[in-house]
Amino acid sequence: MTAEDLAQTWLVRSPPVAAAQAARRPIVALESTLIAHGMPYPENVGTARAVQALIRSMGVEPATIAVIGGRIRIGLSDDELELLGRSGQAQKVSRRDLPAVLAGGELGATTVAGTMICAALAGIEVFVTGGIGGVHRGAQETFDISADLQELAKTSVAVVCAGAKSILDIALTLEYLETQGVPVLSCEQDNFAAFYARDSGFRADHRLDDPAQQARFIRTKWDLGLAGGVVLSAPVPQAAAMAREEIDAVTLQALAEARRKGVTGKAVTPFLLDRIKLLTGGRSLAANVALVKHNAEVGARLALALAQAGRGAGAASP
């Protein structure tokens, strides 16, 4: 039995996902950290259900990914979404955490890196998230760099996002991605997005608005044997966007609070997102919901275009 065959024993596909793969219909992976750690209840579960419904309405099957009962679940039921949203016990699962959470039978919510790994194992090529992780501010001293970036360098999944979270050092994040050979695409604007804010002030490598163009780019990369992900950045809708100057000021205040309280490691991002929500009177949460839904539309269109383009030699396979 090959290593890939052994890995498949850890996967449990939901009936809708299994049926979609059998029929070769497009699928979009969704993370579960947003549900367990990114939003408060009940907005987290409500947003997850709305995003799934939106993707299905476009003829694509959503596959929310989590670790439940010692197995990687590819596609979740309403009850499982509720469990993740309400339990408060889900572990954040990135690459290093996946073996421990699976072996221990714990409840786990997958990060960007964790979801990419599981999506690739399940043969899913497109993953929609809110914002990718990256190089944290002050990383020159703390070395706090998200595992998402290294995963993008090695795992062949297209990641649709609203850029990098605005709590990060976006300039250094883009430098890191360049060094690792990860292409950064944008749609709807030339510049890379900044999560709550539409414009980070930094240009993406290429602007490709047409899903067919995006699919051709991604297929070409993988068909050349160039392993690794592709970032596709889409800006938060204008009606929900926040000014970059306001977000920067609030982020600096939240970072100062995190330092005073000794918040470190995996706890930093959830702490900052929660503090920013409070400091903005909930407007950041509204922006988060809007950008995730918009990313879902962009991701569904990309999944449809990739399916029409056909599966290339370099793509993930179930």
Instruction: For residue 184, give the DSSP letter.
Output: E
Catalytic residue, candidates 31, 43, 80, 82: 31
Annotation marks residue 31 as catalytic: yes
CA distance 209 to 142: 37
* Residue 207 near residue 185 (C-beta atoms within 8 A): yes
How many Cβ atoms from other residues are within 10 Å of residue 65's Cβ? 30
Q: Is 303 helix (H, G, I), strand (E, B) or coil?
A: helix
Estimate the share of the chain in helix, then strand, then coil, as percent rounded to the nearest 5: 50, 15, 30
CA distance 132 to 160: 9
Integer-rounded Cα radius of gyration of the chain: 18
* Residue 45 near residue 80 (C-beta atoms within 8 A): no
CA distances from 44 to 65, 85, 126, 170, 292 (A): 15, 6, 21, 26, 11
Catalytic residue, candidates 92, 165, 221, 277: 165
One-letter-per-residue 3-state SS of 210-256: CHHHHHHHHHHHHHCCCCCCEEEECCCCHHHCCCHHHHHHHHHHHHH
One-letter-per-residue 3-state SS of 51-77: HHHHHHHCCCEEEEEEEECCEEEECCC
Catalytic positions: 31, 165
